[in-house]
Chain A
Amino acid sequence: MATLKELAKKNELFSGGHRLCTGCGIPPIVRLILRSANAPVVATTATGCLEVGTTIYPYTAWRIPWIHSAFENAAATISGIETAYRAFKKKGKIPKEKDIKFVAFGGDGGTYDIGLQALSGALERGHNFLYVCYDNGAYMNTGIQRSGATPFGAATTTSPAGDIILGKQEVRKDLTRIVVAHNVPYAAQASPHNWADLSKKAEKALKTNGPTFLNIISPCPLGWYSKPEESIEAAKVAVDTCYWPLYEVENGVLKINYKPKQKRPIGDWLKMQGRFKHLLKPENQALLDKLQGCIDAEWERLLSLDGKVI
């Protein structure tokens, strides 16, 4: 695995000057993944903040071949690109020794919801690619609407905290588990605050033959109503509260990559974000307890599977 010094020396393939927000979690995630690749990368991005923020014509932040085609089809688009690569290799139009890595990036909306079918299809077909979901917990690009990844209780513009209904009423979808159920060779959850873990996972995923998946929590000051300067801290607290466990499933074996010495209460994470304000009111303790209960149950489930073939 590359050291921080080695990573820093790699070419910057995702240039500055893009229009993603201050404190957005996406740029550090993308930069680190591109630096971890050890080979040329061709990428696609689903419609969303990353696409809109990096390519306003005639500018592009991508110093690699890159395509955006639509919202729900990043996995299908990368399937086509990767297949063309195999066709050209077979016909000798690309030299045998040339190795190209294929990466699809999508937000949680483009991955958990509208793009789930295309993702499932591409995983099942076994294309050689890495799918990266940056999970900021809502459709941020279109103004913070709820997604299947939005945490229980969070206020969004389509699940507002009203007088009667207090934020999102449903528990989030466990996408990583859905991906694992496709029996892919490698899937993991990561966080931008832990660069070493994230970079190692990206390197591993890109080295693996077959479809691989990274689900990465991505703080969004605009949608979380959090302080931009606290984004990386917010990612860390998400992990320390076990809201976002860092784990991987490699060839069917689950491994927890980080176990907090002292699991922090979920309130520590919620209080950094305005979208959970209502959950911290004494009269809504039951909602907070429900969220804590979900997190505890998932963490217990992971602990019980740690080191095992699942």
Chain B
Amino acid sequence: MAITMTKGQVGLTGNTAVAYAMKQINPDVCAAYPITPSTQIVEEFSGYVADGAVDTEFITVESEHSAMSACIGASAAGARVMTATSSQGLALMWEMLYIASGMRLPIILTNVNRALSSPINIHCDHSDSMGARDSGWIQLYSETVQEAYDNLFQAVRIAENEKVMLPVMVCLDGFITSHAIENMSLLDDAEVRQFIGEYKALHSLLDTDNPVTYGAMTLPDTYIEFKRQQSDAIARAKDVVSEIGKDFGNRFGREYGLMEKYMLDDADVAIVILSSAAGTTKVAVDELRKKGKKVGILRPRLFRPFPFKEVADALKGVKAVACLDRVDSMSGFGGPLFNEVRSSLYESEKRPKIASRIFGLGGRDYKVKDAVGVFEELLKIAETGKVEVLTKYITM
């Protein structure tokens, strides 16, 4: 899809907007492999390369494992590097995700969320990126096309921040966001250039006068120190994400925080949910608010590092919470969002009642009535103080 407009409102799919953001970022190197539903990003970016619209060297690797490996090589060589994938592609990268973060390489990956096999399914859920939640990557989940687009520029700044130096994964929902056209606004190239700045790596493999060794073998006497430093870095990323979200807001009028609160301040009950499904849930909130029900939403934008203090704080006045996960962690104890939120609330003086609901796996529709159903259940829990069913599947 050709984009001629660079400012003002334009209707774009998530994939086209991401490819366009990549064009504006103009990375040094991109290595990627096609997979539904992120393929379009790779195709459209190839078009920009073929037309000379970017200076990027594009490596058409033979697998996602090699995509991430090439990204690692290029990033260690000092390049600004980007890739995109989904589902099985991210799963195939898994080994290399840990190596990218362990080497503190600021690589940017767009993950268009899709279910993992088996059974094979090309539609949206979060099993791919949630499978990588402990890989040391910063994870941002985007609700809309606009947010996915905006997140990409912020991701560059977050990753390359010298207090952080970690890879960032920007997630958006497969098909729901990647293929749906939304009205959004684009930044100009000059604004983007100013916002992201130039990248100068601290240690480049191409600085042959100052040779460095990357990826040395460590024994039990040093490994844990490396991991401790990495852990501190991802913890520091939280404030950096906030600062950069504010700066983005000051410059372009769309401010981003660690999370979005929708009608939460006076809410009795709340749904905690990621990405596009928050939009559907907002419609349910609006309907129920009209009927006088005090319902609200907490939508974490940053999942890694997990803003546990801020989440606990946001939910402190709420009586009952349901965490809606578009993935099952197969632990027999709810989804990953549920586990993080429940754990975050442990220190709270007045803990709300909390339940886990798994929804929308493999692209199953999540409708306004599903959200209304959860809110009604929550209102009952708030009244009785009893959670009848702690974890269950909905949208069945």
Report which A residues bind B (CB closer than 8 A).
Answer: 40-42, 44, 51-52, 55-60, 62-70, 72-73, 75-88, 90-91, 94, 100, 117-118, 120-121, 124-125
Q: Count A-B pairs with CB separation below 8 Å.
A: 172
Q: How far is the CB of B76 from chain A (nearest CB, A)?
A: 5
List of A residues within 8 angstroms of B222 by Cβ: 57-58
A41→B205 CA distance, assembly (Å): 10
Complex contact A65–B207 (CB within 8 A) = yes
Q: How far is the CB of B50 from chain A (nearest CB, A)?
A: 15
Contact of A64 among B73, B208, B218 (CB under 8 A): B208
Complex contact B208–A125 (CB within 8 A) = no
Does B66 touch A at the CB level, under 8 Å? yes
Complex contact A83–B57 (CB within 8 A) = yes
Q: How far is the CB of A86 from chain B (nearest CB, A)?
A: 5
Can you pick out 30 interface pairs between chain A and chain B where the beta carbons lie within 8 Å of each other? A40-B208, A42-B206, A55-B213, A55-B215, A55-B216, A56-B216, A57-B219, A58-B222, A60-B213, A64-B211, A65-B206, A65-B207, A65-B213, A66-B211, A67-B205, A69-B72, A69-B103, A70-B95, A80-B29, A80-B70, A80-B74, A80-B77, A80-B79, A81-B73, A81-B74, A90-B55, A91-B28, A117-B63, A120-B62, A125-B60
Complex contact A57–B79 (CB within 8 A) = no
List of A residues within 8 angstroms of B205 by Cβ: 42, 65-67, 81
Complex contact B69–A67 (CB within 8 A) = no
Does B56 touch A at the CB level, under 8 Å? yes
User: Interface size (B, Cβ < 8 Å)?
Assistant: 45
Complex contact B69–A76 (CB within 8 A) = yes
A59→B218 CA distance, assembly (Å): 10
A291→B396 CA distance, assembly (Å): 62
A91→B79 CA distance, assembly (Å): 11
Contact of A88 among B67, B95, B206 (CB under 8 A): B206
Complex contact A84–B215 (CB within 8 A) = no
A122→B258 CA distance, assembly (Å): 40
List of A residues within 8 angstroms of B57 by Cβ: 83-84, 86-87, 90
A55→B219 CA distance, assembly (Å): 11
* Also in contact, A79 and B61, with CB within 8 A (given A62-B211, A84-B206): yes
* Also in contact, A80 and B72, with CB within 8 A (given A55-B216, A57-B222, A69-B215): yes
List of B residues within 8 angstroms of A64 by Cβ: 208, 211
Contact of B208 among A55, A65, A67, A80 (CB under 8 A): A65
Closest to B206 in A: A85
* Also in contact, A66 and B213, with CB within 8 A (given A44-B73, A85-B206, A87-B57): yes
A101→B61 CA distance, assembly (Å): 21
Closest to B79 in A: A84
Q: How far is the CB of B135 from chain A (nearest CB, A)?
A: 14
A58→B217 CA distance, assembly (Å): 9
Closest to A85 in B: B206
List of B residues within 8 angstroms of A85 by Cβ: 77, 206
A200→B380 CA distance, assembly (Å): 81
| Chain B 306-344 near chain A by CB (<8 Å), digits 1 or 0 | 000000000000000000000000000000000000000
List of A residues within 8 angstroms of B31 by Cβ: 79-80, 83
| Chain B 70-89 near chain A by CB (<8 Å), digits 1 or 0 | 11111111110100000000
Contact of B59 among A63, A83, A117, A120 (CB under 8 A): A83
A63→B79 CA distance, assembly (Å): 22
Closest to B211 in A: A65
Complex contact A118–B65 (CB within 8 A) = yes
List of B residues within 8 angstroms of A90 by Cβ: 55, 57
List of B residues within 8 angstroms of A51 by Cβ: 215, 217
Complex contact A81–B77 (CB within 8 A) = yes
List of B residues within 8 angstroms of A62 by Cβ: 211, 213
List of B residues within 8 angstroms of A69 by Cβ: 69, 72-73, 96, 99, 103, 214-215
Does B224 touch A at the CB level, under 8 Å? no
A88→B201 CA distance, assembly (Å): 13
Complex contact B72–A57 (CB within 8 A) = no
Complex contact B216–A80 (CB within 8 A) = no
- Interface centre among B79, B212, B215, by most chain A C-beta atoms within 10 angstroms, is B215
Closest to B226 in A: A57
Q: How far is the CB of A211 from chain B (nearest CB, A)?
A: 13
